[in-house]
Amino acid sequence: MSELSYLEKLLGGAEVEWVPLGNICEFKNGFAFKSSLFKNSGLPIVRITNIDGLNVNLDDVKYFSQSDYKDNLSSFKVSFGDILIAMSGATTGKVGFYCENVDSYLNQRVGKFIPKVDILTNKYLYHFLLLSTESIYILAGGGAQPNLSSNALMAKLLIPIPCPNNPEKSLAIQSEIVRILDKFTSLTAELTAELTARKKQYNYYRDQLLSFEEGVVPHVPMGQEGVGEFIRGGSLQKKDFTEIGVGCIHYGQIYTYYGTYTNQTKVFVSEELASKCRKAQQGNLVIATTSENDEDVCKAVAWLGKEDIAVSSDACIYKHRMNPKYVSYFFQTEQFQQQKKKYITGAKVRRVNADSLAKILIPNPSLAEQSRIVAILDKFDTLTDSISEGLPREIELRQKQYEYYRDLLFSFPKPETVHNTH
């Protein structure tokens, strides 16, 4: 039996009505907590940054004390099972399911849906909203600073309700759709949790493997003569990119596209321009020397391709005599991160210059030991970061499978016009 005929069988010829969300659901906007009163402990606040498009993420949470406010904030409480949405900024329309057992409180720019339980199940609404993030973003006006109105959202977003005149049957159909889709989201959640655990394990072993006693293994300045040399990148811009030509790494792509190492570039530049650029050779590192945050500045990728490639400004090239992957892994260690901190300058844009990088100490064991360490870390890197072999690939496949069935199970016939009877 095809998936479509399964949906038809599930409906059993029943009517489906598309209704404005506001007809069958209430909405609560967040409270304007003062950032100056945020605490490091107390009652947790769910902010716009905690909405990640699947679940509510409380990795970076702020707190408040009720004694700082005269208002009774109980109506802004968030409990297990609540569905939240980002109301402005780049994440506008992103939905999160709150699956914590500790209550939190809604910050401004975050909203909460409260379905009328006699006609709409909570999880049915959740899956539908995940399907509708693009439509919601359009309602917000899109653009650089979208801002979603709760009134517009509840009046204009239409949701399909099967068997609207038979609530018991409607809820049963909604529950069956939820049962199917929850299987996929739970599997994705399990894989994501495993990936998080493996990454922590990977980070621990990487730091351990690259930690040596100074008396046993020499720790040398990276710019020391005979060890390595930092060379600033050239002046090429995104507008210079071409589809063919000489390979090129732009500093911004080091954050968004490249991993620890690569033998292919994402973009190219003309041979004429490349002849004027500074180039990285096989085995060199390409390092982003500017970023908007301290964590990302100095992210590095080892170039393993045979051809020389052009390197943009705001990046530098590290020429050295070590194993290139070993050096790139070193740039990810806590040992490196702690050393670079004292060299970071700038306010809005954070920078570390090539002269400062040259002063950072790197443990320099034998090439044989470097290769042994790289062989171990490569296995972890494949598992945690490879989009073709590792867990990220498996998660991507499960997510696509979920989206396929979600789109199918919500493919109810839709009338051209629907009148708001609210």
The whole-number pLDDT of residue 4 equals 53
Q: What percent of the chain has pLDDT over 70?
A: 95
Q: What are the residue ranges spanned by the domains of the chain? A: 17-161, 163-212+365-414, 217-363
Given this model, what pLDDT does residue 421 score?
A: 40
Q: Which helix (H) or strand (E) holds 337?
A: helix 334-341
What is the rounded CA–CA span in Å between residue 48 and residue 40? 18
pLDDT value at 352 more than 90? yes
Give the contacts of 25 (CB within 8 A, at least 6 positions apart).
113, 114, 115, 116, 120, 125, 154
Do the Cβ atoms of 323 and 330 come closer than 8 Å?
no
Three-state SS at 383: helix
Find all residues with CB under 8 Å of 167, minimum gap 6, and list them. 118, 119
Q: State the DSSP string of 255-273.
A: HHT--SEESS-SEEE-HHH
Sign of the dihedral through C-alpha 322, 324, 326, 328:
positive
**pLDDT of amino acid 408:** 87
Burial of residue 325 (number of CB atoms within 10 Å: 0-12, 13-18, 19+):
buried
Give the integer Cα–Cα distance in Å for 149 and 152: 5
Closest CA to 232 of 258, 246, 245, 251: 251
Does the structure show a pLDDT above 50 at 26?
Answer: yes
CA 211 – CA 125 distance, rounded (Å):
50
Q: What are phi and psi of 19, to 5 degrees?
A: -125, 150
Residue entry with tokens 């990728």:
301
User: In this predicted structure, what is the pLDDT of residue 13?
Assistant: 74
Q: Quick one: pLDDT band at residue 348, thresholds 50, 70, 90?
A: confident
Which token pair is 273?
């321009």
Per-residue pLDDT at 418: 45
* 153 touches 139 (CB < 8 A): yes
pLDDT at position 86 is 93
Which residues 6+ apart lie within 8 Å of 80 measured at CB?
A: 98, 99, 100, 101
pLDDT tens track for 375-421: 999 998 888 877 667 888 888 899 999 999 998 889 887 766 444 44
Q: What is the pTM of this model?
A: 0.66
Architecture of domain 17-161: Alpha-Beta Complex (3.90)
Segment 149-204, tens digit of pLDDT: 999 999 999 999 999 999 999 999 999 999 999 999 888 888 888 888 888 999 99
Q: Which two tokens stand for residue 342?
A: 């004292």
- Which helix (DSSP H) or strand (DSSP E) does residue 24 occupy? helix 21-24
Mean pLDDT of 132-136: 89
φ/ψ of residue 269, rounded to 5: -135, 165
222-267: per-residue pLDDT in tens?
999 999 999 999 878 788 999 899 999 999 899 889 999 999 999 9
State the Rg of the chain over Cα: 26
Residue 79: CB partners within 8 Å, gap ≥ 6?
98, 103
Residues with Cβ within 8 Å of 64's Cβ and at least 6 positions away in sequence, in order, are: 33, 37, 38, 39, 42, 43, 45, 105
Beta bridge partners of 27: 113
CATH superfamily of 217-363: DNA methylase specificity domains (3.90.220.20)
Query: Encoding tokens for residue 56?
Result: 């509510």
Q: What is the mean pLDDT of the chain?
A: 90
Q: Answer whether 17-161 and 217-363 agree in fold.
A: yes
pLDDT number for residue 388? 67
Chain centroid, CA 212 distance in Å: 33
